[in-house]
Amino acid sequence: MSRGTSNQNPRSAGAVARRLADLYARDGFWRERWRRSGHERAPESLDGLEPVRIEELAADERAHPPYGSWRAASSFVRVGVPARDSALEMLVFTTEDLEREARVGAIALAAAGLAPGGRETNAFAGGLSTPGSLVVGDAAQALGALDMPVGPIAAAGPRDTAFDFWQRVKPDFAVLDPAGARDLASLLTDKKTTANDIGIRAAAVVTDLRDSAPEVPDLGVPVARIVGLAEAFSLLAACDAHGTFVAPGSEVVLEVQDGELLVTTLHHSAALVRYAPGVRARLVEAPVGRSEDCAFVLV
C-alpha cells in the first residue's frame, strides 16, 4: 500500500498528536486497535496507522451499546438515526459538536454564496434525516444570515404555503437536498414563475460525500454543491466552479492513499482517525486565502 498524500501542516501536527493521545487514554476501540498493531503508547502521528472503515465502527457500536467506544464522548445532546443506508445505527452529537457544526457549516454556506445579512430558506425535514438538515439554520445564523425554513414541499398544501411565504419575504438563497431541488423546480413551473421572481438569487444542494453528484434541474440561478459526512459534519465543504471542495484544516486532516480519501477529525466526538468513507479523490492546492485548509476533488 502506498504512503499517499496528506494536507497536514506543521500547525495541525500538534492537534493530531493531542487527538491520538486523548483517544489512546480511553478504554475501548482506538487503544485496543493500536495495541493490536504494536503500539505500546499513543501513536505520535498518522503515519502507518491502518485506515478504518464504517463496518469496524458499527461492530464496535454493537459490542458497546448504545454509542460504541469509538466515539470520543459519553454525553450526547442530540441523537438520531441515519436516513441513508449505513452500517451505523445512530448519529450522536455533543453540545460542542453542534457549535462546531454551525461554524463549519457557515464556512460552507458562505463559499456557496450565502452572504451575511442574507435571507436563507431551506426545505429540509429537520432532525438528522440527511446531511445538512441538522444544522443548516444554525450555520446560516452563525454566518449572520436569517434562516427561514419551510420544510418539505412535495405535497400540494406545503407547496402553496411555502410559495405564499416566499412571495412575501423574498429569500435570496435556498438550501436544498436533491429532492427539494426537484420539488422547487416543479413548483416554479406550476406557478409559471422563476426563482429570481420570488427573490432567490442562488442555491446550494446538500448531499452526502459518498453520493454521486446530484442531477439538479435548471433553477435559473447558480447552484453550488455542499457535501457532508453524516458521521461527523453535516455541511463539510462546498464545491467551487472548478470542482474543488475545501474543508477547514482546523477541524479535519485529509489524506489520499491509493486514490482513496481518508478523514481524521481533530476535535469532533465522532472520533475518526484515517477513516475511509469509500470515496475516490485527490488532494489539490487550497485556494488563496485558505492555505491552512484542505482541498480535494472527487474522481
Write out pLDDT tens, residues 123-160: 987 665 667 777 899 999 999 999 999 999 999 999 99
52-298: CATH number: 3.40.50.12780
Q: What's the confidence (pLDDT) of residue 2?
A: 43
Overall size of the chain counted in residues: 299
Write out pLDDT tens, residues 11-28: 688 999 999 999 999 999
The domain spans of the chain are 52-298
Grid cell digits, residue 229:
459526512
Is the model's pLDDT at 9 over the cut of 90? no
Mean pLDDT of the chain: 93
Phi/psi region, residue 28 (left: phi>0; alpha: psi -120 to 50; beta: rest), is left
Grid cell digits, residue 206:
446538500
Q: What does the DSSP 8-state code read for residue 1?
A: -
Coil, strand or helix at 190: helix
Write out pLDDT tens, residues 148-197: 999 999 999 999 999 999 999 999 999 999 999 999 999 999 999 999 99
Write out pLDDT tens, residues 84-133: 778 999 889 999 999 999 999 999 999 999 999 999 999 987 665 667 77
